[in-house]
Chain A
Amino acid sequence: MQTSESTTSGMRAMYQRRMLEIRGAFEAGASGVATIAARSDALDTLVRGLWREAVEQDTRLKTGIALVALGGYGRRELFPYSDMDLLFLLDGRLAEKQVKDAIRRVNQEMWDSGIRVSPATRKLAECERFDEDNAEFAVSLLDHRLVTGDAALYGKLSGQVVPKLLQRDHKAMTARLLDLTRARHAKYGDTLFHLEPSIKDCPGGLRDVHVCGWMTKLHDGGAQVLKNGSATAAELAEDWNEFGKAVEFLWLVRCFLHYRHERDDNTLDWQAQDAAAAAAVGLSGQGPEGADAGYWMRFYFRYARSVQRRVMQAMEESAAKAPSMLLGLRRERRVETVQPGFRVERGRVNFDEVAVGGYDPAQDPDVVLQVFQAMARTGCTLGRDAEERVSRALPLLSAHLEEGPGLWHHLQGVLTGPQAGDALRAMHALGVLELLIPEFHGIDALVIRDAYHRYTVDEHTFVLIDTLHGLETAQKGPMAEWAARFGGVMRELPHPGLLYLAALMHDTGKGRSGGDHAQESMRMAESVVARLELDAYESDLVMSLIANHLEMSAALRRDIFDVETVRAFAGKVHTPEALRMLMLFTYADINAVHPDALTPWKAENLWRLYIATANYLDRSVDDERVGPQEESELIHRVTALLPGQKTAVREFLEGFPERYVLTRTPEQVRTHFQMAGRFAEDAVQLDFRYAPGVSELTLVTRDRPQLFANIAGALAAWGMNIVTADAFSNRQGVVVDSFRFTDSFRTLEMNASEHGAFVKSVHDVMTEAISLEKLLSGRRRGRKKSPLVVVETRVEFDDKASSHSTLLEVIAQDTTGLLRALSLTLAGQGCNIEVALVDTEGETAIDVFYLTRNGAKLDAESETELRRALMTAVEENASR
């Protein structure tokens, strides 16, 4: 007499009860691993029971057939509503038609119990063959487990057939698995940062966890399988703690989603995110109950990122063993390098072994930062061992890290490398980025929950940086034309590193609640630029770019053909260099919101606003001057630095173009004011700031003929190439001329002792103690470089831009001594330079002068004469 529990309906009822118990346990706090193993065990019981009945009815089934769990069921990872893969394995003795009815009955019973079973019937010999078109079956065979039936037959499958399959076909299987995985990733835009991700199929999802396991098993022709039998993801996870936590989290969340949706639906939609956050699913004491969904999603993204990193690594490692494949080919082409402390082999970075004295290069910040620079430069990736060594070394790296120019040098090296985005992602994932810039931590995996944003804030930042680098290479598609045009501007930036630094920091303020995030980001960047010891000009550029990073997008929503829109926008950017950077930044920022956000229409409007503003900046300077009673925030800030001298400061500032005040920090204005106060001791005051890239020299003196020409000449004589310059004067005739220049022959870089001689020489030229001509004649013996791009000389006059000056714009090939030649010609024609704005874009010099002659605008005749003289001067200078 059979007990009721052993009858078919009894077994079904017991299974249903067990399912309810498992659900109850899950809701009471059972882990993901316990839940999926429990369901798997419950199914085992059911399958065994059903099969026992079948065997009782037909004893021929006692041998020659085995019921084998495959795939997730094989791994004992069966989620509440997942389907189950069950293999009915036959040896040659039993014919398929003899077992057909029994198999159908078992499957039928399971379907009737609400279980979605995917049955397969195969003869042992059929399992040996790898079928490209049904790779899924071969892959599912990697996770096999006997449920019931002929154990000896199963022993042949696990001991002979599967190892043989792997030995023979592991390469083909690996290749197919790589293809399938890449296609799946591509379907999700190759990013894990989706608003409503599928936690199974998205990059960084559970399917990738399985891929990691399969890749390990496929390594070395399946040696791993021979040794370990069925290694589960949990076993693999022990190798890597963070990965293990991620897997456990994903298991838990998938169980949660299945119970919530009551079907095999793995989409983490917004409602599910709210519910998961409210129940603090997977936070296990790390977060508050009833947390907000954005907070909870940060955990999800962090874990998914860790899985994605692991799967990419597994794929790279596997592709390396299949050299004919695309990934392998790409790596072969990568640069191989050996540097102190590490080497790059086949596209992977490995640290040198720990030295006898105990020196570990992975603990040396210089070496580690060189590694990330190499990654940014060449696109190589970290080997798993290298990653682990960096992770372990973090506390020591933190202790040894030196801030200041050295750190900026390294960081700049990373930021400006063509693969900076990937290098930064790796730094971020390992915690190195937060070590250098703790301010970045606040936006780690931070979600902006609106339908417009596709990525988390940190990923948005990296995509933005990727977009900027993308401008440097030719592109395809509808944006190609615009990318080329913006890319031209990108290549001409004198300080691209500063743009990238601003990009890295621009949204860090989003990590703090409330307020204007641009201002908050700027405040956070303040301490970063101070730690990197950027000079005043560089800091100012970075900070203003961050503070204004939404201004150009905002201006695009106004009428960009309206001069008021342009004027208001120009008032915020102040200088052409800041404008160029902001335009490029805005382009990349829009593109990094989501893949379709940037359209040719938007790029065109951005470009138009840029042109209009650039023209406005050059043409409006002369008319906007500081008035005698002007009250502005900057004037207050300057007077605050000079207590008791308010009247004198106001007198000094009166008559300067507003551009002067707007483009200087209050500290710089104070320095200039104090220099002007020392005219009694020395009428020529010079302030020299050396920097390895671009140095700056400021001259404060009384206006006189040929002043600009002489100082430009003195710089040319020393081989200095002027990048930007401006010259402003106040109502009293005090001139502030600033020159920013590069040291073409590295004279100042190689000889620190020459700094004093350089300043003295410029001073002597200005006081006429030495002859400029003599100084220049020595210089002209230097070798001349042939230009890469030939720039046609253009001389344009504009009488309408200013109310009392004539605007002259000269576009010419940038050659040493050009500015001297131009300004000398102007002086020779009796022209007074009211304002000079000198700029360089790559090999093009763009020099704008506001001129008067005898206090008035130039007439048509003198313009013609001047044009001729300038064309000749440019030509003569170029041929020298």
Chain B
Amino acid sequence: MQKIEAVIQPSKLDAVKDALVEVGVEGMTITEARGHGRQKGHTEFYRGREYSVDLLPKVKLELVVADDMLEKAIQAITTAARTGTIGDGKIFVSKIDEAIRIRNDERGEIAL
């Protein structure tokens, strides 16, 4: 099992969600996040006042998939979230040892 963490543009959330459902991933956790990578913040002026925008709004998705689903899920995310410009986001993949469904103690991929 693999865990995918993807940090994407908030405006791409719906598209990414739909793309994941399309390839058969239905469970995910979504967190409102802020951050920046190479796409640094900037400064806005409003009514003579200055507002710095150093952390940009992002959405973080977390999902755990069976090993054979990994590539499909990554493909779905990158295709839906890509605009080709700086700030499109990143995907991190890590290995998961165990998954347990609390309701009935099912373990492994069946619990996903």
Residues of the A chain whose Cβ atoms lie less than 8 Å from the Cβ of B57:
560, 601, 604-605, 608
Contact across chains for B47 and A844 when beta carbons are under 8 A apart: yes
| Per-position 1/0 for B33-48, Cβ under 8 A of A | 1100000000011111
Contact across chains for A615 and B45 when beta carbons are under 8 A apart: yes
Pick the interface stretch among B8-16, B18-26, B89-97: B8-16
Contact across chains for B14 and A612 when beta carbons are under 8 A apart: no
User: Once bound together, how far apart are the Cα atoms of A558 and B83, in whole Å?
Assistant: 13
B53 at the interface (CB under 8 A from A): yes
B98 at the interface (CB under 8 A from A): no
B71 at the interface (CB under 8 A from A): no
Contact across chains for B48 and A796 when beta carbons are under 8 A apart: yes
A846 at the interface (CB under 8 A from B): yes
| Per-position 1/0 for A597-620, Cβ under 8 A of B | 001011011001001101100000
Q: Look across to chain A and name the residue whose beta carbon is closest to the beta carbon of B12.
A: A559
Contact across chains for B44 and A841 when beta carbons are under 8 A apart: no
Selected contact of B46 from candidates A559, A560, A611, CB within 8 Å: A611
User: Once bound together, how far apart are the Cα atoms of A846 and B51, in whole Å?
Assistant: 17
Q: Look across to chain A and name the residue whose beta carbon is closest to the beta carbon of B34.
A: A601
> Which residues of A in the span 81-114 have a Cβ within 8 Å of any Cβ on B?
none
User: Once bound together, how far apart are the Cα atoms of A796 and B44, in whole Å?
Assistant: 14
User: Once bound together, how far apart are the Cα atoms of A811 and B13, in whole Å?
Assistant: 39
Contact across chains for B14 and A811 when beta carbons are under 8 A apart: no
A60 at the interface (CB under 8 A from B): no
A615 in contact with B46 given A599-B32, A601-B32, A604-B57 (CB within 8 Å): yes
> Which residues of A in the span 546-583 have a Cβ within 8 Å of any Cβ on B?
556-561
User: Once bound together, how far apart are the Cα atoms of A534 and B34, in whole Å?
Assistant: 44
Contact across chains for A614 and B11 when beta carbons are under 8 A apart: no
Contact across chains for B47 and A811 when beta carbons are under 8 A apart: yes
User: Once bound together, how far apart are the Cα atoms of A561 and B83, in whole Å?
Assistant: 13
Contact across chains for B47 and A841 when beta carbons are under 8 A apart: yes
A56 to chain B, nearest CB (A): 53
Number of interface residues of B (CB under 8 A): 17
Q: Look across to chain B and name the residue whose beta carbon is closest to the beta carbon of A796.
A: B48
A843 to chain B, nearest CB (A): 13
User: Once bound together, how far apart are the Cα atoms of A615 and B51, in whole Å?
Assistant: 13
Q: Look across to chain B and name the residue whose beta carbon is closest to the beta carbon of A794.
A: B48
| Per-position 1/0 for B67-101, Cβ under 8 A of A | 00000000000000000000000000000000000
A809 at the interface (CB under 8 A from B): yes
Contact size class for A? 20 to 34
Contact across chains for A602 and B32 when beta carbons are under 8 A apart: yes
A558 in contact with B11 given A608-B44, A614-B47 (CB within 8 Å): yes
User: Once bound together, how far apart are the Cα atoms of A556 and B32, in whole Å?
Assistant: 13
| Per-position 1/0 for B45-63, Cβ under 8 A of A | 1111001010011000000
A597 to chain B, nearest CB (A): 12
Residues of the A chain whose Cβ atoms lie less than 8 Å from the Cβ of B11:
557-560
Contact across chains for A612 and B32 when beta carbons are under 8 A apart: no
| Per-position 1/0 for A580-602, Cβ under 8 A of B | 00000000000000000001011
Q: Look across to chain A and name the residue whose beta carbon is closest to the beta carbon of B51.
A: A611
B77 to chain A, nearest CB (A): 17
Contact across chains for A611 and B10 when beta carbons are under 8 A apart: no
User: Once bound together, how far apart are the Cα atoms of A809 and B53, in whole Å?
Assistant: 22
A487 to chain B, nearest CB (A): 16
Selected contact of B47 from candidates A557, A560, A561, A846, CB within 8 Å: A846
A611 in contact with B48 given A557-B14, A559-B9 (CB within 8 Å): no
Interface centre among A599, A794, A841 (most CB of B within 10 A): A794
User: Once bound together, how far apart are the Cα atoms of A841 and B11, in whole Å?
Assistant: 32
User: Once bound together, how far apart are the Cα atoms of A559 and B58, in whole Å?
Assistant: 11
A795 to chain B, nearest CB (A): 9
Contact across chains for B46 and A614 when beta carbons are under 8 A apart: yes
Interface centre among A557, A605, A611, A612 (most CB of B within 10 A): A611
Q: Look across to chain A and name the residue whose beta carbon is closest to the beta carbon of B48.
A: A811
Q: Look across to chain B and name the residue whose beta carbon is closest to the beta carbon of A602.
A: B32
Residues of the A chain whose Cβ atoms lie less than 8 Å from the Cβ of B34:
601, 604
User: Once bound together, how far apart are the Cα atoms of A796 and B45, in whole Å?
Assistant: 11
Interface centre among B10, B33, B34 (most CB of A within 10 A): B10
User: Once bound together, how far apart are the Cα atoms of A605 and B47, in whole Å?
Assistant: 18
User: Once bound together, how far apart are the Cα atoms of A615 and B53, in whole Å?
Assistant: 15
A804 to chain B, nearest CB (A): 23
Residues of the A chain whose Cβ atoms lie less than 8 Å from the Cβ of B51:
611
Residues of the A chain whose Cβ atoms lie less than 8 Å from the Cβ of B33:
601
User: Once bound together, how far apart are the Cα atoms of A559 and B9, in whole Å?
Assistant: 8
Residues of the B chain whose Cβ atoms lie less than 8 Å from the Cβ of A561:
56
A483 to chain B, nearest CB (A): 17
Residues of the B chain whose Cβ atoms lie less than 8 Å from the Cβ of A556:
10
User: Once bound together, how far apart are the Cα atoms of A794 and B48, in whole Å?
Assistant: 7
Residues of the A chain whose Cβ atoms lie less than 8 Å from the Cβ of B46:
611, 614-615
Residues of the B chain whose Cβ atoms lie less than 8 Å from the Cβ of A612:
44
> Which residues of A in the span 801-823 have a Cβ within 8 Å of any Cβ on B?
809, 811
Residues of the A chain whose Cβ atoms lie less than 8 Å from the Cβ of B9:
559
User: Once bound together, how far apart are the Cα atoms of A611 and B45, in whole Å?
Assistant: 8
Residues of the B chain whose Cβ atoms lie less than 8 Å from the Cβ of A601:
32-34, 57
| Per-position 1/0 for A232-275, Cβ under 8 A of B | 00000000000000000000000000000000000000000000
User: Once bound together, how far apart are the Cα atoms of A792 and B47, in whole Å?
Assistant: 12
Residues of the B chain whose Cβ atoms lie less than 8 Å from the Cβ of A846:
47-48
B21 to chain A, nearest CB (A): 18
Residues of the A chain whose Cβ atoms lie less than 8 Å from the Cβ of B13:
557
User: Once bound together, how far apart are the Cα atoms of A601 and B13, in whole Å?
Assistant: 15
Contact across chains for B47 and A608 when beta carbons are under 8 A apart: no
A308 to chain B, nearest CB (A): 34
Q: Look across to chain A and name the residue whose beta carbon is closest to the beta carbon of B83.
A: A559
Residues of the B chain whose Cβ atoms lie less than 8 Å from the Cβ of A841:
47
User: Once bound together, how far apart are the Cα atoms of A83 and B57, in whole Å?
Assistant: 54
Contact across chains for B10 and A605 when beta carbons are under 8 A apart: yes
Q: Look across to chain B and name the residue whose beta carbon is closest to the beta carbon of A600.
A: B32
Interface centre among B44, B47, B57 (most CB of A within 10 A): B47
Residues of the B chain whose Cβ atoms lie less than 8 Å from the Cβ of A602:
32
User: Once bound together, how far apart are the Cα atoms of A561 and B55, in whole Å?
Assistant: 13
A582 to chain B, nearest CB (A): 16
B52 to chain A, nearest CB (A): 11
User: Once bound together, how far apart are the Cα atoms of A599 and B34, in whole Å?
Assistant: 13
Contact across chains for A608 and B32 when beta carbons are under 8 A apart: no
Q: Look across to chain A and name the residue whose beta carbon is closest to the beta carbon of B56.
A: A561
Q: Look across to chain B and name the residue whose beta carbon is closest to the beta carbon of A809.
A: B48
A173 to chain B, nearest CB (A): 43
Residues of the A chain whose Cβ atoms lie less than 8 Å from the Cβ of B45:
615, 796
| Per-position 1/0 for A772-797, Cβ under 8 A of B | 00000000000000000000101010
User: Once bound together, how far apart are the Cα atoms of A823 and B88, in whole Å?
Assistant: 46
User: Once bound together, how far apart are the Cα atoms of A605 and B53, in whole Å?
Assistant: 11
Interface centre among B9, B45, B46 (most CB of A within 10 A): B46
Residues of the A chain whose Cβ atoms lie less than 8 Å from the Cβ of B32:
599, 601-602
Q: Look across to chain B and name the residue whose beta carbon is closest to the beta carbon of A614.
A: B46
Residues of the A chain whose Cβ atoms lie less than 8 Å from the Cβ of B53:
608
User: Once bound together, how far apart are the Cα atoms of A826 and B11, in whole Å?
Assistant: 44
Residues of the B chain whose Cβ atoms lie less than 8 Å from the Cβ of A599:
32
B8 to chain A, nearest CB (A): 11
Residues of the B chain whose Cβ atoms lie less than 8 Å from the Cβ of A844:
47
Residues of the B chain whose Cβ atoms lie less than 8 Å from the Cβ of A558:
11
> Which residues of A in the span 601-647 have a Cβ within 8 Å of any Cβ on B?
601-602, 604-605, 608, 611-612, 614-615
User: Once bound together, how far apart are the Cα atoms of A560 and B12, in whole Å?
Assistant: 12
User: Once bound together, how far apart are the Cα atoms of A841 and B49, in whole Å?
Assistant: 13
A573 to chain B, nearest CB (A): 16
> Which residues of A in the span 667-725 have a Cβ within 8 Å of any Cβ on B?
none
User: Once bound together, how far apart are the Cα atoms of A604 and B32, in whole Å?
Assistant: 11
Contact across chains for A611 and B44 when beta carbons are under 8 A apart: yes
Q: Look across to chain A and name the residue whose beta carbon is closest to the beta carbon of B57.
A: A605
Q: Which 9 A-B pairs have the closest CB atoms?
A: A811-B48, A601-B32, A794-B48, A559-B11, A611-B46, A558-B11, A605-B57, A611-B44, A846-B47
Not counting A601-B32, A615-B46, a sample of 7 additional A-B residue pairs whose C-beta atoms are within 8 angstroms of each other reads: A557-B13, A559-B11, A560-B11, A601-B34, A611-B51, A614-B46, A846-B47
Task: Jot down 5 A-B pairs with beta carbons below 8 A, ordered by A.
Answer: A560-B57, A601-B32, A602-B32, A792-B48, A811-B47
